Structure 1
Amino acid sequence: MSPIQDIQTEIDAHNDIFKNVDGNRSKMVKSLGSTDEASFLQQRLDDMNQRWGELKAKSANIRAHLEANAERWNRLLALLEELGRWLCLKDEELNKQMPIAGDLASLLQQQVHCAALQKELNEREQLVSSTLDQARLFLADQPIEGPEEPRRNLQPKTELTAEERAQRVAKAIRKQAAEVSEHWERLRANVVSWQEQLERVLDKLRELEGAMDRLELRLSEAQDVQTTWQPVGDLLIDSLQDHIDKTIALKEEIVPLKNEVRAMNELSGQLVPLDMQLSSITTRHLDDLNMRWKLLE
């Protein structure tokens, strides 16, 4: 039970007694005449009257304080709810960007979107932190939430008291603040994780595309040399040895390509554990390079 409820309960419990005693105080004092007992009783009654007035004033002050702050805490609750909706929206935007794209252009677009989302989070961080701090300050002054007590002697549609409204707002703020705090931390962690994953895949894909471009150039050069050769059946005996020498020289030149092909395929395999599936264009290019190498060797 809250302090205001404690005080109000005490007032309600003793109200009839106080009215009865206060209404008969003159009679009680007069009945004792001018004795010490009469003086003592008068002093006790005055003291009781003063304490009763202080108790009622304290109750009124607390109630006035609750009502004065009601609008402020309702604004806080509305802000927490707005932040909750915004976090859900950003969550949806992040999920729509998944999974990781299979080509460099799309990956770069995903990285741009992730950077923009991270910027939005950074811009909102101060607002989220200050709002959660306000909620913590408010809740620190509230009693520990317990089971709600039934409202006695009240009709279902009776207007809530100031303290009951404050309790409901406190309960809503406690729930909403916990949800916003948890959602905020989870979203920030997910964005960081997604950003790191994109960067790892981008690095590997750039390496792969670089290896593919280099291999493409080397294979094209070797194939261009081959196209200048005459068919074996058209060779004259005098030029046969020259053809053999050229073939041996080309074989020696393309030996290093074997390592480049292996490195390219290893890079492609390293993308699999990163939950990235290469685009069909890149996959066909890989297959083409491997096939051309087999024909060349």
Structure 2
Amino acid sequence: MQQNRCCSPQLKLKMLHRKTYHVKELQAEIDAHTDVFHNLDENGQKILRSLEGSEDATLLHRRLDNMNLRWNELRKKSLNIRSHLEASTDQWKRLHLSLQELLAWLQLKEDELKQQAPIGGDLPTVQKQNDIHRTFKRELKTKEPVIRSALETVRIFLAEQPVEAVEKICPEPRDLPPEERAHNVTKLLQRQADEVRTEWDKLNLQSADWQKKIDDALERLQGLQEAMDDLDLKLRQAEAFKGSWQPVGDLLIDSLQDHLEKVKVYRAELVPLKEKVHHVNELAHRFTPSDIQLSQYNLGCVEDLNTRWKVLQAKARESDKECLCDVSSITVLDTN
């Protein structure tokens, strides 16, 4: 329980105000005794004049000088304590609030970073995520000197505060020795500074890790997109080539052999096309829900490419059968 009291920021602030209040009470008490002091001094001076030349006069003169010296020292010390306490209190509160604000900002940015996940399933989405994270990293870079400056200010403040000063800023329970009371308030600011430093380092590591995932996704999705674009081009060329053929039934007997040669060439060109289809499917299968879930657009593109490939294969087989049938018919006719 005592440790919780020592570590509570709210309690620290209350103690600061309480100590300031006690110093103000002391100053008010001194001010209230000012008239008493002046009366004593005036009466002592009168008595001193009446005892001029005697031993009692010398003793009284010494006591009056000592009283004036101690009175002035007391007033000076009280004013110095109050001035130093108010300045240190203000600075302590500013540092405390500054660190609190930085911790809140770091938590906000960590939440923002989490909201950027998961990785998108197509190239445009991941490119947009990359743009968003680029802006995020610029914000971190802008904030970096602010954070480093705050941490350095806390370090200097704690290094310059002697034990007595820290005690006055934030007194701990009186049953603790002065060194421990000063150590506790030092630990409060130091712990806040350490937390800011830890959260800052963690946020930068998370940002770097997220950028790595984005870069990996961009590379893989770019590879898939290029493979799909290349396959789409080859399929369109094959479809156009196949679409330029005349129906086998409309061909003249003399051009049938040429058509057979075209079919052979066509089937030969389907061999590398098959490898491209296999390559696209292999790239697509490397994306898993636990890794990167491909978007419906990409899944639809892969499915469309496979469907078109199957149609071309079917048409090639159909052309083979038609040509073989026609060639067989011509052979039979020639025999007859």
Q: TM-score, normalised by structure 1?
A: 0.67
* Aligned residue number for residue 212 of structure 1: 228
* Aligned residue number for residue 85 of structure 1: 104
Distance 2:227 2:219 in 1: 12
Distance 2:78 2:291 in 1: 64
Matched residue SS, 2:292: coil
Measured after TM superposition, the shift of residue 254 of structure 1 is 2.6
Q: How many residues align?
A: 233
In the alignment, residue 128 of structure 1 is paired with which amino acid? I
* Aligned residue number for residue 135 of structure 2: 116
* Aligned residue number for residue 70 of structure 1: 89
Distance 1:179 1:87 in 2: 10
Distance 2:187 2:97 in 1: 13
Distance 2:115 2:162 in 1: 40
In the alignment, residue 149 of structure 2 is paired with which amino acid? S
* Aligned residue number for residue 33 of structure 1: none
Check whether the contact 1:87–1:183 (CA below 8 A) recurs between aligned residues.
Answer: yes
In the alignment, residue 260 of structure 1 is paired with which amino acid? K
Measured after TM superposition, the shift of residue 211 of structure 1 is 1.2
Deviations 1:45-77 (A, max 9, x none): xxxxxxxxx9xx999967764443121121111
1:267 and 2:283 are equivalent in the alignment: yes
Distance 1:225 1:64 in 2: 94
Measured after TM superposition, the shift of residue 262 of structure 1 is 2.4
In the alignment, residue 234 of structure 2 is paired with which amino acid? R
Structure 1: 5+ residue runs without aligned partners?
Answer: 1-53, 153-162
Check whether the contact 1:197–1:274 (CA below 8 A) recurs between aligned residues.
Answer: no
Distance 1:115 1:142 in 2: 45
Matched residue SS, 1:215: helix
Distance 1:59 1:132 in 2: 32
Distance 1:61 1:167 in 2: 23
In the alignment, residue 290 of structure 1 is paired with which amino acid? N
1:99 and 2:118 are equivalent in the alignment: yes
* Aligned residue number for residue 305 of structure 2: 289
Map 1:123-134 onto structure 2 (within 5 A). Answer: 123-134=142-153
* Aligned residue number for residue 244 of structure 1: 260
Distance 2:228 2:173 in 1: 75
The alpha-carbon distance between structure 1 residues 190 and 183, as it changes in their structure 2 partners (threshold 3 A), is same
* Aligned residue number for residue 70 of structure 2: none
Higher relative contact order by CA 8 Å / sep ≥ 6: 1 or 2? 1
Map 1:1-297 onto structure 2 (within 5 A). Answer: 65-140=84-159, 141=161, 150-151=173-174, 170-272=186-288, 275-297=291-313
The alpha-carbon distance between structure 1 residues 142 and 296, as it changes in their structure 2 partners (threshold 3 A), is farther
Larger radius of gyration: 2
Measured after TM superposition, the shift of residue 249 of structure 1 is 0.7
Measured after TM superposition, the shift of residue 181 of structure 1 is 1.2
Check whether the contact 1:74–1:169 (CA below 8 A) recurs between aligned residues.
Answer: no
Matched residue SS, 1:218: helix
In the alignment, residue 106 of structure 1 is paired with which amino acid? T
The alpha-carbon distance between structure 1 residues 272 and 229, as it changes in their structure 2 partners (threshold 3 A), is same
The alpha-carbon distance between structure 1 residues 271 and 259, as it changes in their structure 2 partners (threshold 3 A), is same
Distance 1:273 1:267 in 2: 14
Measured after TM superposition, the shift of residue 228 of structure 1 is 2.2
Measured after TM superposition, the shift of residue 175 of structure 1 is 3.0
Distance 1:272 1:62 in 2: 68
Measured after TM superposition, the shift of residue 200 of structure 1 is 1.3
In the alignment, residue 229 of structure 1 is paired with which amino acid? W
Aligned CA-pair RMSD: 3.5
Distance 2:275 2:252 in 1: 36
Matched residue SS, 2:245: coil
Measured after TM superposition, the shift of residue 201 of structure 1 is 0.8
Matched residue SS, 2:121: coil
Structure 2: 5+ residue runs without aligned partners?
Answer: 1-72, 164-170, 314-336
Q: TM-score, normalised by structure 2?
A: 0.60
Check whether the contact 1:142–1:170 (CA below 8 A) recurs between aligned residues.
Answer: no
Deviations 1:205-239 (A, max 9, x none): 11211111111011011011112223344444433
Distance 2:237 2:274 in 1: 15
Distance 1:149 1:61 in 2: 21
In the alignment, residue 135 of structure 1 is paired with which amino acid? V
Measured after TM superposition, the shift of residue 113 of structure 1 is 0.9
Measured after TM superposition, the shift of residue 168 of structure 1 is 7.2
Distance 2:148 2:301 in 1: 50
